[in-house]
Structure 1
Amino acid sequence: MSTSPDLARITAAASGEHPASRSTTFSAAWKDLRRGFGQRELWLALGWQDIKQRYRRSTLGPLWITIATGVMAFALGLLYSQLFGMNIAEFLPHVAVGLIMWGFIAGCIKDGSEVFIANEGLIKQLPSALSVHVYRLVWRQFLFLLHNLVIWVALLLIFQIPVGWKVLYAVPAMAVLVANGVWVTMFFGIVATRFRDVAPLLDSLVQLAFYMTPIVWTAKTLERQGGAVAERAFLAKLNPLYHYLEIVRAPMIHEPLDPMSWWVVLGFTGVGLLLALLAMKQWRFRVSYWV
């Protein structure tokens, strides 16, 4: 059965792509990412609007983000510092910064798995690159992260944590974290749109990963106990999420950083971007039919 040129153009517009870009090549996938980034006025505005809409008619507005994270960090930091016998001045900043960064990572994974489903109307009606919806979500999560950095600043002042020039290492680390947020959202967004059981599965896995990642506990705690327990600290470092947190957390709380963490993160970033491009190459133009 033949398809008229007008129908082809309408279908392409509904999927957010031009007819010429519907090829299954890495070049076309990369072009979608570049085109979406070029439409930053759109996704910057939409991401900010998401936050305003979420806290509409709220007196404190986005400050609730910071308050909720701060209360949780204080409660967990106080509890586990007593359980592990650690100095709260050392442990609370570790927990707080870990929770801030974890909020960004978990948000990109869990919300990212439903990014295209949640934007069904826009995908079918708005002629834009598919990646626009990914950038919008990552931008929104990054705004949450920036709000929560107020907690880190408060802890610096309360516990008189020294801040040297090495704290600047956290800036490129956050940039890498954002880049990972893009590929994570794109990859899981496409897969979870096709297979709807993936989203609830990811939600459970993220919850499990929270307890397996040194956020409310530290690898140093295991090392200090010695013996077989100290050997388990090595197993904790096999978790790639540990390294994602460390490249940001260590310079922010004035702790030494193992250069190996950067190599692990850069390696996973490269593999992840390749996976996202592969998923886009194969399935990006089908998303509008799956939502």
Structure 2
Amino acid sequence: MPSVSASTSPRETAWARAAHDLAGGWGQRQLWAHLGWQDIRQRYRRSVLGPLWITISMAVTAVALGILYAGLFGNPLETQLPYILVGFIVWGFISGCINEGSEVFVANEGLIKQLPAPLSVHVYRLVWRQTLFFLHNLVVYVVMLAIFPQPLTWRSLAAVPALALLMVNGVWVALLFGIVSTRFRDLVPISQSIVQLMFFMTPIVWIYGDLLNSSNPTVAERARIAEFNPFLHFLEIIRAPLLGQDQHWRHWAVVLAITVVGWALTLVAMRRYRARVAYWV
């Protein structure tokens, strides 16, 4: 092992080790990509439809809620259902990264203690698995396009960098939440409860634009409070292009700001507590 020079401070060494962990984990792409795919195969090993059960369950729920809320809000089904369906697909990725991310190191206790691999390997594996689920669920989106065609244009390609940005945020969320929740185990059920609550407070089954443009000023004013919900912005950067709607660049600005702040906090946590995770699990 190369020695640390006398001019290198312990703080600089800790930063270097945190960066090396992230880079080393990324360098082992073949490992975590294989493990992520095996997670899906193992979960549905004796199932005929395999991971499509997740897609079917999500589609049935989205269709039922689409019919229900289309009647409640008086919206056409061809407007309400695609909005809810795409919202469910994106929310599945976000909630999966948060819920599973808070347990990512505890769930991989055996590998962490026995396999000399960077901690980030387990996080990359998680985000890759959630990405595979997301791609599976896009099958329903393709079917929806055949039934309810959307005004897609070349601007719809913005969904690709939007998904990449969601993945980048999924990594820091799983790393940060995983480190903190490994130390304080009570945070796992708390974070799961918060995610469930945020599902109803985020415009997934209700259309934010309709309330914002409501003729009732009280409803419109209260709808603007949703702008303080960070999940709204993460949803819109990918839902808008998938539905062929105009992009609002303030959503991208908020997401990019959260990305920078989130990664800054995560790097600080990695520098200070990365070496302790193996003892906490």
Normalization by structure 2: what TM-score? 0.94
2:242: which partner in 1? Answer: 252
The residue identity in structure 2 corresponding to 1:108 is C
Instruction: Work out whether residues 74 and 96 of structure 1, in 8 Å CA contact, stay in contact via their aligned partners in 2.
Output: yes
* Aligned with 1:135 (options 118, 124, 134): 124
* Aligned with 2:148 (options 159, 179, 183): 159
The residue identity in structure 1 corresponding to 2:45 is R
| TM alignment of 1:182-197, pairs within 5 A | 182-197=171-186
2:5: which partner in 1? Answer: none
* Aligned with 2:109 (options 114, 120, 129): 120
Q: Does 1:217 find its partner at 2:206?
A: yes
| TM alignment of 1:229-240, pairs within 5 A | 229-240=219-230
Q: Does 1:89 find its partner at 2:100?
A: no
Please give the per-residue CA displacement for 1:12-61, whole angstroms capped at 9, x wherever unaligned.
xxxxxxxxx99762222111101000001110000000000000110111
2:194: which partner in 1? Answer: 205
Please give the per-residue CA displacement for 1:136-189, whole angstroms capped at 9, x wherever unaligned.
000000100000011111111101212211110000000000000000000000
Aligned counterparts of 1:284 and 1:24: Cα–Cα separation in 2 = 13
| TM alignment of 1:28-107, pairs within 5 A | 28-107=17-96
The Cα of 1:225 is off from its aligned counterpart by 2.5
Aligned counterparts of 1:78 and 1:143: Cα–Cα separation in 2 = 28
1:279: which partner in 2? Answer: 269
Aligned counterparts of 1:22 and 1:67: Cα–Cα separation in 2 = 50
1:12: which partner in 2? Answer: none
Aligned counterparts of 2:15 and 2:88: Cα–Cα separation in 1 = 35
1:15: which partner in 2? Answer: none
The residue identity in structure 2 corresponding to 1:134 is V
Aligned counterparts of 1:236 and 1:78: Cα–Cα separation in 2 = 24
Identity over aligned pairs, percent: 58
The residue identity in structure 2 corresponding to 1:286 is R
**Secondary structure of the equivalent of 1:225?**
coil
**Secondary structure of the equivalent of 2:228?**
coil
Aligned counterparts of 1:250 and 1:24: Cα–Cα separation in 2 = 43
Please give the per-residue CA displacement for 1:244-289, whole angstroms capped at 9, x wherever unaligned.
0000000000111211000000000000111111111110111110
* Aligned with 1:268 (options 253, 258, 277): 258
Instruction: Work out whether residues 22 and 28 of structure 1, in 8 Å CA contact, stay in contact via their aligned partners in 2.
Output: no
1:13: which partner in 2? Answer: none
The residue identity in structure 1 corresponding to 2:65 is L
The residue identity in structure 1 corresponding to 2:134 is L
In the comparison of the two structures, how many residue pairs are matched? 272
Unaligned runs of 5+ in 1: 6-20
Distance 1:169 1:267, change over 3 A: same
Instruction: Work out whether residues 223 and 229 of structure 1, in 8 Å CA contact, stay in contact via their aligned partners in 2.
Output: yes
What stretches of structure 1 move > 2 A for 4+ residues in a row?
A: 21-27, 223-226
The residue identity in structure 2 corresponding to 1:107 is G
Aligned counterparts of 2:53 and 2:13: Cα–Cα separation in 1 = 44
The Cα of 1:105 is off from its aligned counterpart by 0.4
Instruction: Work out whether residues 24 and 282 of structure 1, in 8 Å CA contact, stay in contact via their aligned partners in 2.
Output: no
- Which moved further from structure 2: 235-244 or 260-269? 235-244
Unaligned runs of 5+ in 2: 2-9
Instruction: Work out whether residues 167 and 254 of structure 1, in 8 Å CA contact, stay in contact via their aligned partners in 2.
Output: yes
The residue identity in structure 2 corresponding to 1:164 is T
